[in-house]
Amino acid sequence: MFVIWTGQGLLIALAAIFGTIVGYTTYDLSSRFVFSLPEQFSYFFVCLGAAIGCYLVALYLEQKSRGRVVIDKKTGREFTLRRSHKLFYISARRWSYMLLAASALALIYGLISLFAGDQGMTNPLP
C-alpha cells in the first residue's frame, strides 16, 4: 500500500482544500460587492488561500510536536527527536512556500492579462 502522508500530513491537504474554498469565496465576494476583478485574479486568491491554510497548519503542527530531547549514550551529544508531518514527502511549511510562489505567479498572470486587455480564455476556432 502506498502511503502519501506521514504523521498528520493529511491535514495539509485538508487545509489546502479549505483555503482554496475560502480564497475563491473571497474573490467572488470582493468582485461582486467591492470592485470588479477580472477572472484571472481568481487564481491568485485561490493559491493565496491555500498557502495561508497550509502555513497555519504548519504552525499548528510545529507547536504540537515540539520533540523530545535525548542523549546518545556513545557520544554524549543531545539531539531532538521530532515527528515529521509530510504530504508526498514534502513538509507543510514547504507546501505553503510553494503555494505562495504559485500565488505570486498567478498575480503576475492577472496583472499581465489586466494590462494586455485579455478577457480570459477565448476559443481560437471560428
Total structural domains within the chain = 1
In a domain, 87, yes or no: yes
pLDDT for 59 equals 87
Predicted confidence (pLDDT) per residue in 77-94, tens digit: 888 877 777 778 778 888
In a domain, 13, yes or no: yes
In a domain, 126, yes or no: no
Q: Which residue has the higher pLDDT, 107 or 63?
A: 107
Is residue 31 within 8 Å of residue 109, measured between CB atoms?
no
In a domain, 1, yes or no: no
pLDDT for 98 equals 92
Predicted confidence (pLDDT) per residue in 20-45, tens digit: 999 888 888 887 887 777 777 888 88
Spatial distance between the Cα atoms of 11 and 76, rounded to a whole number of angstroms: 36
In a domain, 2, yes or no: no
pLDDT for 103 equals 93
Q: Where are the alpha helices (DSSP H) in the chain?
A: 10-29, 41-64, 92-116
| Domain span holding position 79 | 9-116
In a domain, 122, yes or no: no
